[in-house]
Amino acid sequence: MTATCVVGLQWGDEAKGKIVDLLGEQFDYVVRYNGGANAGHTVVAGGRTFKLSLLPTGVIRPNVISVIGNGVVVYPPRFLEEVEQLQRHGFDLSRTLALSDHAHLIFPYHIEEDRLAESGSEGQIGTTGRGIGPCYQDKVGRRCGIRVGELFHPEHFRERLARIVPFKNRLLAAIANGHPTSFQPFDAEALAQEYLAYAERLKPYVTDTCRLLQEAARQGKRILFEAAQGSLLDVDHGTYPYVTSSSSLPAGIWSGAGLPTRHVTRIIGVVKAYTTRVGQGPFPTELNDGPEGYGERIRRVGKEYGTVTGRPRRCGWFDAVAVRYTAALAGADEITIMLLDVLSGLPEVKICVEYERDGERTVHFPSDAYELQRCRPVYETLPGWGEDISTARRLADLPPAARRYVDRIAELIGLPVSIISVGPDREQTIRLAA
């Protein structure tokens, strides 16, 4: 059995969903192994647009089993909302969607903790407010974490909530003290009734996904792992503390899906032709050049607004220093360059090739946020192209300047380019031999 992993090499939002969708027909299983409903992805197929944040992209492929692994944190209302959205479009997920019984549950008190923490004047990190971080805190802290499988033992579930909710109410009251906003204490029994009602609707999808994937491996099935967020948001190797709460690198597969990573023989790193970031944290190549500048133009043309939150993304030039760092961490074999069409019409394009810090130049990426904040980009400027490239289907269809830009990125990262995307639809793709 061999497996492939698709991983973002920037701060997320690299259009990984399109790559997973393009490759989906080659696989039997598509697996999410980290994150939660903070990881939005948009897939356009046959003129229809699907916006998902929790379900794997593979769900729109009828012959693929989609798996939400134990490393994911799940908010049941969001899970059911996405299932129902797809059912309305004619998708039957009853035999093609599996949810791990070991995945942890997000509760309203997690979302409230997120809201209160981000509404204060101290310690903001720009979360999506979906309760992801607080849920992972409970998972690691062990005393308050509740798994999906516990929903199917009602008395046990009620007993756990009866112990946890009073503690959460005291915690939230302490966090809210002095905040301009307050909260309403939660009722343990009301939460129990709400979530036990979800249990009946979740039940057809819940299973031991570790066993499912291990059996698939024994049978030689083809498995595609879909990383959420981006490598620069990895909790260990990203720009800490402005990161997510899980391992967004391929390293998270073993713990988040229960399948040894020795099975992964191909790792595809996904990058945008430029860089974006949502929330707080350092961003060396960010373009703060005003409403008529390149940064705003990239945001407008690229529709750079969060799939989950709708927040405008911060936009900047391609950062080869950062991507070279994450490509090495991820063990990427190749890269795909997404949204190249967004740069059409610019008179010039820039690539960050080095950083300058305290008067010295470096090609090494400091993942420590304080150190990165002190770095200034050193750019290489290339000519832009005016042609509309959205109809290009072969490398030869691209104008010379666009080809040179792609080639230069490949040179700086040291990896071949296997796919170039020139639009959101499946057909707007140039496939190359990696």
Among the listed residues 104, 110, 139, 272, the single catalytic one is: 139
Binding residues for GTP: 12-18, 40-42, 313, 339-341, 421-423
Residue 186 Cα distances to 79, 112, 180, 190, angstroms: 22, 10, 19, 8
340 phi and psi angles, rounded to 5 deg: -60, -30
Burial class (CB in 10 A: 0-12, 13-18, 19+), 385: buried
pLDDT, average across residues 372-399: 97
Burial class (CB in 10 A: 0-12, 13-18, 19+), 357: middle
Predicted confidence (pLDDT) at residue 139 exceeds the cutoff of 60: yes
Tell me, yes or no, if 319 is annotated catalytic.
no
> What torsion do the CA atoms of 369, 372, 374, 378 make, to the nearest 10 degrees?
-160
278's tokens: 């949502």
d(CA 191, CA 400): 60
Q: Are strands 429-431 and 417-421 parallel, antiparallel or unpaired?
A: antiparallel
Among the listed residues 13, 21, 101, 138, the single catalytic one is: 13
Binding residues: 12-18, 38-42, 128, 142, 229, 244, 307-313, 339-341, 421-423
The full set of domains in the chain, from first to last, is 3-102+205-267 (3.40.440.10), 104-201 (1.10.300.10), 271-431 (3.90.170.10)
Q: What is the pLDDT of residues 110-126, one digit of tens each?
A: 999 988 887 765 566 66
Predicted confidence (pLDDT) at residue 429 exceeds the cutoff of 80: yes
Binding residues for substrate: 307-313
Predicted confidence (pLDDT) at residue 302 exceeds the cutoff of 90: yes
Q: What is the pLDDT of residues 190-248, one digit of tens each?
A: 999 999 999 999 999 999 999 999 999 999 999 999 999 999 999 999 999 999 999 99
Nearest to 274 by CA among 301, 245, 309, 242: 301
28's tokens: 């039997």
Tell me, yes or no, if 221 is annotated catalytic.
no
d(CA 149, CA 61): 27
Instruction: Round the average pLDDT of the chain to a whole number and report it.
Output: 92
C-beta neighbour count of 196 within 10 angstroms: 14
Q: What is the pLDDT of residue 426?
A: 87
Residue 376 Cα distances to 264, 274, 362, angstroms: 36, 17, 10
Q: At what angle do helices 154-176 and 108-119 cross, to 10 degrees?
A: 10
Binding residues for Mg(2+): 13, 40
Residue 282 Cα distances to 245, 247, 255, 368, angstroms: 18, 20, 29, 10
List residues bridging with 362 in a β-sheet.
355
d(CA 345, CA 402): 11
> Of the ranges 84-98, 116-130, 160-174, 412-426, which one carries the lowest mean pLDDT score?
116-130
d(CA 83, CA 81): 5
Contact 342, 301 (CB under 8 A): yes
Binding residues for IMP: 13-16, 38-41, 128, 142, 229, 244, 311
Among the listed residues 21, 41, 237, 272, the single catalytic one is: 41
pLDDT, average across residues 253-261: 95
Predicted confidence (pLDDT) at residue 98 exceeds the cutoff of 70: yes
What is the amino acid identity at position 433? A
Q: What is the pLDDT of residue 123?
A: 61
b/e sequence 244-277, b meaning 16+ C-beta within 10 Å: bbbbbbbbbbbebbbbebebbebbbbbbbbbbbb
What is the amino acid identity at position 150? E
d(CA 293, CA 297): 6
Q: What is the pLDDT of residue 180?
A: 60
